[in-house]
Chain A
Amino acid sequence: EDKVVQSPLSLVVHEGDTVTLNCSYEVTNFRSLLWYKQEKKAPTFLFMLTSSGIEKKSGRLSSILDKKELFSILNITATQTGDSAIYLCAVDHSGYALNFGKGTSLLVTP
C-alpha cells in the first residue's frame, strides 16, 4: 500500500529558530513530491521536487529530495510567527492524484 509519512506530527519553536520537517514515502511509480502550506483554508503550493539532490529554495524555505532513501525535508530558517501552519507533503504517483501525508503542525511563538 502506498504510504506518505510525515514527522514530527507537531512542533513548537521560537521565532528565529530553524526547523526541519520530514517526509518519507513508499509508493509505486513515483513521479514527484510536493510540499504545501495550509493555514486556515486551502493548502497552498510551496515546492515540487522530481530529482534527487537538487535543492529548491524560496526565501527562507528550502526543500530537497532523496529518491534513493525515499524521503524529503523542508527547512525553514529564521522562523516567523507567520510560518505557523500545517505543512503537507504529497506524492504524485499516478500523474493525476496526490497521496498526502497527515501533515506537520508548526507553531512559531514570539
Chain B
Amino acid sequence: DAGVIQSPRHEVTEMGQEVTLRCKPISGHNSLFWYRQTMMRGLELLIYFNNNVPIDDSGMPEDRFSAKMPNASFSTLKIQPSEPRDSAVYFCASSFQGDGYTFGSGTRLTVV
C-alpha cells in the first residue's frame, strides 16, 4: 500500500486566495482525519470523518475552513480566503476502527 497520500507537498499562496489540500487515505480505512501542526500549538485536530461522514468538526478554526469527503478514497480541506496565520503543516491521517493510525507526509502551506 502506498500509505496516506497528500498533495500538494508544498503550497505558497497569497493572502486572500483559495487553497485546496487533498488526501487519499489507505484503502480499507474508514476514518479520516485532518490535523494542523504549528510550533506554537502543536498538532491540532481540525475534523474527522467516519465512513465519509463528518463526525466532529469542532476543531475547524473558522468558517473559512471547510472539508469534504465525497467518497472513501478522497478528501479535501479548503481554506477560502487564506490568511498568513493559516501557514502551517497540514496532515491527513487514516485508520480502520481507530487502529492502524497512519499519517500522510503533510502539506506545508505558506500564505504570504
Binding site for B on A (CB under 8 A): 31, 34, 41-45, 88, 90, 92, 94-103
User: Nearest chain B CB to A46's CB is how many angstroms away?
Assistant: 12
Q: B106 touching A42 by the CB < 8 A rule? A: yes
Q: 5 closest Cβ contacts across the A-B interface?
A: A102-B42, A42-B103, A100-B43, A95-B98, A41-B105
Q: Is the interface of B mostly helix, strand, loop or mixed?
A: strand
Closest A residue to B47 using CB positions: A97
Q: Does B82 contact A (CB under 8 A)?
A: no
Q: Is the interface of A mostly helix, strand, loop or mixed?
A: loop
User: Nearest chain A CB to B106's CB is how many angstroms away?
Assistant: 6
User: Nearest chain B CB to A21's CB is how many angstroms away?
Assistant: 15
Chain B residues touching A, range: 20 to 34
- Between A and B, 22 residue pairs with Cβ closer than 8 Å are A42-B4, A42-B91, A42-B104, A42-B105, A43-B91, A43-B103, A44-B103, A88-B42, A92-B98, A95-B97, A95-B98, A96-B31, A96-B33, A96-B50, A96-B95, A96-B98, A98-B33, A98-B45, A99-B45, A100-B42, A100-B44, A103-B43
